[in-house]
Amino acid sequence: MAKKAELLAEAKKLKLDVSEKNTIAEIEAAIAGADVQKEKAPKKEGVAKAGKRSAKAIAETEEKEAKEARKIAKSDAESEEAKKPKQVQRVRSKLERKGKNFRKAAEHIEKDKSYGLIQALELATQTNPAKFDATVELHVRLGVDPRQADQNIRDTIVLPAGTGKSVRVAVFADIEDVAKAKKAGADIAAGEEFLQQLDKGVIDFDVLIATPAMMAKLGKYARLLGPKGLMPNPKSGTVTTDIAKATTEAKAGRVEYRVDSTGIIHVGIGKVSFGKDKLAENAKALLASVKGNKPSSVKGAYVKSLYIATSMGPSINVDTSEAN
């Protein structure tokens, strides 16, 4: 019994789950098993209960070192990736970004060739990709500086073959001139009652013509009419005492052109349905007007480039000798 008591005391130290009900052999087997597990358990040398040498601190240090190692490995991998030659993605040209119909039409135009005026107009009508009766546009780049007052080219011209557009003309004048305007074909012709329409912000006209005496009354509507290009102006022929003539010209196809900030004039010279002959007639009249407005201060080439295009079609380079 003394031996069993000694074995139970030793088992208690080892915190084994045995009692007096167990036999001596069972107690000895449990103690022997505990000794084997103790031998197999790894010994942690230099591990303290707290501080930098504690198990928790050591684990945190090992995790930090592993994190730094992963960061270095990632940096090395990125450096190797950066050394590899990158494949540059090709940027598509403007022509490639256009629609199928536009690209098909552009195939008929030689990019580096300058065409004669008649040939360019014929080509423009043939390559029009739009399903509607498109406007044929003339784009003239001039060797002028629009910032100079005498080189800010601006004028109006009545195209011989018209514009092909239905123009709604409004006339603001006194009773006598209102009657003349209506006889000349004005869509709207009125006196003081016309201002009531502007007060409501109603604009159902494309051109507004006024007499010099009535212009003072239009001053307060400058913010309404100005941004739309409808404010009457003596330079555009819309402020005049000859109301009948101005109305007739506006209905017949008078156009106003003005050089933009880059020195280019953009003007519509008719419709595709006009055909090359009528378009050529309008183009020549416009170019003659531009040439007649050449400032004396301009030195060198006046017309630098000339292009023709339809509303949605490719541009065609025209020989500048046609305009000089």
Mean pLDDT by 10-residue block, N- to C-terminus, for the chain (324 residues)?
A: 74 73 74 60 57 76 81 77 71 76 83 89 89 91 90 88 86 90 90 89 89 90 88 87 89 86 92 91 92 88 91 89 71
Point out the domain boundary residue: 252, 271, 301: 252
| pLDDT value for 34 | 65
- Residue 170 included in any domain: yes
Question: In total, how many domains does the chain have?
Answer: 4
* Domain hosting residue 151, numbered range: 109-164+253-324
Cα-atom radius of gyration of the chain, to the nearest Å? Answer: 46
Q: Around Cβ 191, how many Cβ atoms within 10 Å?
A: 15
Question: Are 155 and 228 found together in one domain?
Answer: no
- Residue 157 included in any domain: yes
- Residue 17 included in any domain: yes
Lateral strand order in the sheet of 316-318: 264-271, 135-142, 303-310, 316-318
Question: Are 202 and 301 found together in one domain?
Answer: no
CATH number of the domain within which 183 lies: 3.40.50.790
What pTM was estimated for this model as a whole?
Answer: 0.61
Question: Are 309 and 296 found together in one domain?
Answer: yes
How does strand 254-258 pair with strand 264-271? unpaired
Question: Are 289 and 323 found together in one domain?
Answer: yes
Point out the domain boundary residue: 236, 252, 268: 252
| pLDDT value for 279 | 93
| pLDDT value for 278 | 92
